[in-house]
Amino acid sequence: MSDTSSPNTLTLTAVVMTFNEEKNLEACLRSIVGKVDQIIVIDSFSTDRTIEIAKRYTSDIYQHEFLNYAKQYLWGMENCEIRNEWVLRIDADERWTSQGFNTLRPLIEKDLCDGVNVRMKIYFMGRWLRHGGMYPNLFLRVYKRSKGKMEDRWMDEHIAADGAVVDADIDVLECNYDRQENIVPWIAKHNAYSTREALENLISRNDLRPVDSIANLWGNSTERKRWAKERIYSNVPLFVRPCAYFAYRYFLQRGFMEGREGLVFHTLHAFWYRFVVDVKVLQIEQNAKKSGHSIIEVIREHWGIELHPAED
């Protein structure tokens, strides 16, 4: 279990968020057990074998009702008994390697920084998506609690560190069950994701509340992408932007080089996921105009989501 230390254990707390992750969780936890000092699982009341699997690796298991990923993670930072300054954020469909931990070790033990960016190595239908702007994508996944905080957003949340951040030569593998073997749960997940993405769009388009954002044209690659998404993509007309997104990813960034797997992946992301986002945005705005109700009232009525006009 994660509570047992060894000479190779880093003084690091791994935080894993779960909901019905029995297909992914075992490989995730196996990749970090014995490498980190503590594993915390924050579960959203799973109905499958997720908790049973988690108990094999840790006793630090919490359950809390899910609203969105950011609020769930922020709740965990406030309410879980985290015993280390250094935190590793890891999703249930991600796997770390021994080489990654070997690269991470001196950064932590010698206190060389306040945060560490890693490269996400995404697989789809068994194929590593190297092109199409998918690699190397940098994400801050290891950081000091006193220096880092996650954005409070409905979707596409990132952690920002107030201090020195290094881009490490660390590949984190993302090879979940639904991307590899069964597209049905992928569709279900992305339907939920599209609702939360649409909320972010509606908040921005209608100036419903301040937006928590790391966007920075002069920052790192993640901050620049967020800037482009908020300042450019969000201002392109609905239904035009999924087409532009596909052309950019598939042709300009050479997503076509991943063969049929690349075609499936980029088509789904542009003409299913992002297209559905635009449909949901359009419907809410049309319903608000037709009914004379506010966007917030229509979101509550049709989606059952309470979206406050200001931050909690």
Residue 4 confidence (pLDDT): 46
Dihedral pair phi/psi, residue 215, rounded to 5°? -55, 130
What is the phi-psi region of residue 73: left when phi exceeds 0, alpha when psi lies from -120 to 50, beta otherwise?
alpha
3-state secondary structure of 184: helix
In tens digits, the chain (312 residues) has pLDDT values of 544 456 789 999 999 999 999 999 999 999 999 999 999 999 999 999 999 999 999 999 999 999 999 999 999 999 999 999 999 999 999 999 999 999 999 999 999 999 999 999 999 999 999 999 999 989 999 999 999 999 999 999 999 999 999 999 999 999 999 999 999 999 999 999 999 999 999 999 999 988 889 998 988 778 888 999 999 999 999 999 999 999 999 999 999 999 999 999 999 999 999 999 999 999 999 999 999 999 999 999 999 999 876 544
Sign of the alpha-carbon dihedral angle for 187, 191, 194, 196:
negative
Question: 113, 162 in Cβ contact below 8 A?
Answer: no
Q: What does DSSP assign to residue 209?
A: S
CA angle 213, 69, 132 (to 5 degrees): 65
What is the phi-psi region of residue 158: left when phi exceeds 0, alpha when psi lies from -120 to 50, beta otherwise?
beta
Write the DSSP assignment of 72-124 as a string of letters: HHHHHHHHS----SEEEEEETTEE--HHHHHHHHHHHHTT--SEEEEEEEEEE
Beta bridge mates, 95: 173
Residue 1 confidence (pLDDT): 54
Question: 258, 127 in Cβ contact below 8 A?
Answer: yes
Domains located in the chain, CATH noted: 10-178 (3.90.550.10), 182-303 (no CATH)
pTM of the entire predicted model? 0.94
Distance between CA atoms of residues 174 and 151, nearest Å: 22
Residue 308 confidence (pLDDT): 77
Residue 309 confidence (pLDDT): 64
Distance between CA atoms of residues 142 and 149, nearest Å: 11
Identify the helix (H) or strand (E) that includes residue 60. strand 60-63
**Omega before 309 cis (within 30°)?**
no
Question: 255, 265 in Cβ contact below 8 A?
Answer: yes
Q: How far is CA 68 from CA 117, 195, 247, 307, in A?
A: 23, 11, 30, 12
